[in-house]
Chains A and B, each alone.
Chain A
Amino acid sequence: MSLLSVRDLTVKFAMRDQTVTALNGISFDLAKGERLGIVGESGAGKSITGFSLMNLLSRPGYIDTGKILFEGEDVVQMNDKRLRNLRGNRMAMIFQDPMVTLNPVLTIGQQMIETLMAHRKLSHEEARQIAIVKLREVYIPSPEERLEQYPHELSGGMRQRIIIAIALLLDPQLIIADEPTTALDVTIQADIMELMLELCQSNQVGLILITHDLGVVSQMTERTLVMYAGRIIESGRTREIINDPQHPYTQGLINALPQQTVPGQRLKQIPGNMPGLASIPAGCAFNPRCKYATDLCRSRVPEAVHYGGVEVACHEVQRLNSDEDRQEARA
């Protein structure tokens, strides 16, 4: 049985004059210990997906339809008590900005020990010992001293490690990390990624990594979902998606990277912008920006089909494969 199974998840926002759909029929599975990447540009609905999985959406957002089965139990139907037990305990979340997660007026130790004692029957000293062990696991030097420090006394990389340690405190089954390294420098990002990879592999913890950086997804995850305007448009093994993307948007995204073009030449840009939620085009949401769009694309939403090793939601995927741009994308 898979650890997490999301079926037809639809999330809406009740706005002032209309209700907009932020997620539209999202379905995916995650096996125990599997690492899944969610990529897409800003506004695609990546963070909303992460929040929904923990049932953390707050007004005006709400889960309209769908199931989120975590270890067989539907998160959408859980009462507050079950949810508290789920959050932090079995599922943990890491955010982009460490200063938002850490309370600036409490020491690292107070925050870690309180979290532990809230969920487990432990004495203060036992909790402290566990906190020290966890800090060691994330390579924090001299953890005993760090427990007495306040978040602002630590560097960005160190804070993000502590967030990871807190996420791991209660040995969760699944970690949802929303852009965990975006605020960090490349050298520190590389450290944190290595650390997360190592911890997930050795503890058999599932990981959902939300990011806009294809390089990060490529190095961290086994499977990838590509999102556009609230839908999953392509999913499959990360290697397949990076090396042989099928959806025109995924192709465009990869081809737009500077690495994919000879220095000094024009980059292969995608024209236009991601639509706002209130103005998602009919049919395939990507059609105004897609050079393969047909009349069918403008009227009907494409279903996900299995093609070339991945699931892809595009009407024209077969025609594309004979197109010469396609050959170029593969090269």
Chain B
Amino acid sequence: MSTETLNPKSEPSRWSKIWNSNMGYSFRRNPVAVVSMIVFLLIALASFLAPLIAPYDPYDPAQIDIMNSEYPPAWVSGSLPEFVLGTDDQGRDLWSTILYGTRLSLLIGICAVALQAFLGISIGLIAGYVGGRLDSLLMRLADIQLSFSTLMVAIIFLAVTQAMFGTDTFNKYAVVFLIAVIGVAEWPQYARTVRATVLAEKKKEYVDSARVLGFGPMRIMVRHILPNSLSPIFVISTVQVANAIISEASLSFLGLGMPPSQPSLGSLISSGFDYIFSGSWWITAIPGVVLVVLVLVINLLGDWMRDVLNPKLYKG
């Protein structure tokens, strides 16, 4: 920290600041993090550009020909050259379907985590800052929520909605239902972590200083405490995105998620599962590998981030 060099220097750009920061440095030095980041960006980019990249549109019935069903991938004998990864049971090009499916999985994962984060951070901030009875009440709620496993809550909720609205309506709004249920089921993860950091930050003198200056609780929470509680929120968000993608896949696999007409990675794996013994292993295996790789790199990035930001925070 050179404090004597106060002469105005040219401001470094934002990117070079990040690149030269501690985080940028440890990122460059960590091959696992670099590879994970590259793989993740490739998957994310490819899936979000799916309409441009994919040779077929799996949502367009006009492009699907049932006669093309169950062609194997290009490197297996009996394949057709236009279907690089083969086709599924309905004759959809697997490569295109995986691209669209990954996009859906990522979208559901990220939106569900955004919902979790919104609920969890608000509740955690209030519980930690206000304290007392309200804190106990909110945290007991969190405990109760946590004591039901996410899948259990989701299965019950989705099964009931499916029965209530009928399969057609349900399928139409499946994305929304999935985001809502995964988002609501896991907020306590955020609430607990945020509350713990708020309790630690609240003791610091800058919070007292803000109180002496007469700022209201809203301003202190949002403007002062929240920006200082971001590191654990980042760390937990990566893990939670991975978890949400897995939850979505599991629910879809169980037939409670995305319908086969709008396949996510999970419903693809599920629909292919019936054909695995008839020899068409690729319909399940290839999306399965994509899912595993996606979740793995997100978790590896999360691990790296946790080590850099604070090794003591939030394990698991």
Chain A residues with a Cβ under 8 A of chain B: 16, 272-273, 275-276, 278-279, 288
Q: Please tell me if the beta carbons of A275 and B25 are within 8 angstroms of each other in the complex.
A: no
- Per-position contact with A for B1-19: 1 when CB-CB < 8 Å, else 0? 1111100000000000000
| Contacting residues of chain B (1-43) with chain A, CB-CB under 8 angstroms | 1-5, 25
Contact yes or no, A278 B2, CB < 8 A: yes
- Chosen A-B contacts, 7 in total, with CB atoms closer than 8 Å, are A272-B4, A275-B4, A276-B1, A276-B3, A278-B2, A279-B5, A288-B4
B19 to chain A minimum Cβ distance, whole angstroms, is 13
Question: A residues within 8 A CB of B1?
Answer: 276
The reply to whether B25 and A279 contact each other, CB–CB distance below 8 Å, is no
CB of A16 within 8 A of CB of B25, answer yes
Decide: A273 and B25 in contact? CB cutoff 8 A. no
Overall SS of chain A's interface: loop
Q: Smallest CB–CB gap between A20 and chain B, Å?
A: 12
- Taken together as a complex, chains A and B put the C-alpha atoms of A225 and B1 apart, in Å, by 26
Chain A minimum-CB-distance residue to B26 = A16
Q: CB-nearest residue of chain B relative to A281?
A: B4
**Which residues of B are found within 8 Å of A16, using beta-carbon distances?**
25
Residues B4 and A273 in contact, CB atoms below 8 Å apart? yes
Tell me the nearest residue of chain B to A275, going by C-beta.
B4
What are the residues of chain A within 8 A of B5 when measuring CB–CB?
A: 279
> Least Cβ distance of B271 to chain A in Å?
51
Q: Which residue of A has the minimal Cβ distance to B22?
A: A16
> A-contacting residues of B (Cβ < 8 Å)?
1-5, 25
Kindly list chain B residues whose C-beta atoms are within 8 Å of the C-beta of A279.
2, 4-5
- B3 and chain A: residue at smallest CB distance: A273
| Residues in B neighbouring A272, C-beta threshold 8 A | 4
Cα–Cα, bound, A278→B4 (Å): 11
With A273-B4, A279-B2 already in contact, 12 other A-B pairs whose C-beta atoms are closer than 8 Å: A16-B25, A272-B4, A273-B3, A275-B2, A275-B4, A276-B1, A276-B2, A276-B3, A278-B2, A279-B4, A279-B5, A288-B4
Bound Cα distance A276, B1 (Å): 7
CA of A278 to CA of B1, assembled, Å? 8
Residues of A within 8 A of B25 (CB): 16
- B2 contacts which chain A residues (CB < 8 A)? 275-276, 278-279
Query: In the complex, which residue of chain B has the Cβ closest to the Cβ of A273?
Result: B3
Going nearest first, the 10 A-B pairs with the smallest beta carbon separation are A279-B2, A276-B1, A276-B2, A273-B3, A279-B4, A275-B4, A278-B2, A16-B25, A288-B4, A279-B5
Could you tell me the distance between the alpha carbons of A193 and B4 in the complex, rounded to whole angstroms?
Answer: 37
Separation in Å of the B23 CB from the closest CB of chain A?
Answer: 13
Min CB gap B289→A, angstroms: 38
Closest CB in chain A relative to B29 CB, distance in Å? 9
CA distance A279 to B2 in the complex (A): 6
| Nearest CB in chain B: distance from A297 CB, A | 16
A273 cross-chain contacts in B, Cβ below 8 A: 3-4
Q: Which residues on B sit within 8 Å (CB–CB) of A288?
A: 4
| B-chain residues with CB within 8 Å of residue A278 when the two chains form the complex | 2
- Closest chain-B Cβ to A270's Cβ sits at a distance in Å of 14
Contacts of B3 in A (CB 8 A): 273, 276
The smallest beta-carbon distance between A74 and chain B, in angstroms, is: 35
**A144 shortest CB reach to chain B, Å:** 39
B1 (CB) vs chain A CBs: closest residue: A276
B20–chain A nearest beta-carbon distance, Å: 9
| Cα of A36 to Cα of B3 in the assembled complex, Å | 32
The smallest C-beta distance from B47 to any residue of chain A, in angstroms, reads 37
Closest Cβ–Cβ distance, residue A299 to chain B (whole Å): 18
- Separation of A279 and B4 alpha carbons in the complex (Å): 8
Smallest CB separation, A201 vs chain B (Å): 42
* Residues of chain B with a CB closer than 8 A to A276's CB: 1-3
CA distance A279 to B25 in the complex (A): 21
* Bound Cα distance from A288 to B4, whole angstroms: 9
User: A272–B3 Cα gap in the complex (Å)?
Assistant: 9
Give the distance in Å from the alpha carbon of A273 to the alpha carbon of B1 in the complex: 12
Please, how many angstroms separate the alpha-carbon atoms of A69 and B293 in the complex?
Answer: 59
CB distance from A105 to the nearest CB of B (A): 19
Q: How far is the CB of B219 from chain A (nearest CB, A)?
A: 33
Contacts of B4 in A (CB 8 A): 272-273, 275, 279, 288
**Residue of B1, B2, B4, B5 most packed against chain A (CB within 10 A):** B4
Can you name the residue of chain A whose Cβ is closest to the Cβ of B25?
A16
How long is the Cα–Cα vector from A288 to B1 in the complex, in angstroms?
17
Compute how far the CA of A275 lies from the CA of B4 in the bound complex, rounded to whole angstroms. Answer: 7
Measured CB to CB, the closest approach of chain B to A14, in angstroms, equals 15
In the assembled complex, the Cα of A16 lies from the Cα of B5 at a distance in Å of: 20
In the complex, residue of chain B having the shortest beta-carbon distance to the beta carbon of A278: B2
B20: nearest residue on chain A (CB-CB)? Answer: A17
A278 and B25 alpha carbons, distance in the complex (Å): 19
Q: How far is the CB of A6 from chain B (nearest CB, A)?
A: 29
Separation of A276 and B5 alpha carbons in the complex (Å): 11
Return A17 CB to nearest CB of chain B, in Å.
Answer: 9
Complexed CA–CA distance, A272 and B4 (Å)? 8
Instruction: State A143–B221 Cα separation when bound (angstroms).
Output: 51
Q: How far is the CA of A279 from the CA of B1 in the complex (A)?
A: 9
B184: min CB distance to chain A, Å: 42
In the complex, what distance in Å separates the CA atom of A276 from the CA atom of B2? 6
Min CB distance A275 to B, Å, is 6
Query: CA–CA, A273 to B4, complex, Å?
Result: 8
In the complex, the chain B residue whose C-beta lies closest to that of A16 is: B25
List residues of chain B with CB within 8 A of the CB of A275.
Answer: 2, 4
- Closest Cβ of chain A to B2, distance in Å, is 4
Residue of A nearest to B2 (CB): A279
- B28 to A: closest C-beta gap in Å: 11
Nearest A-chain residue to B29, judged by Cβ:
A16
Report how far A272 CA is from B2 CA in the complex, Å. 12
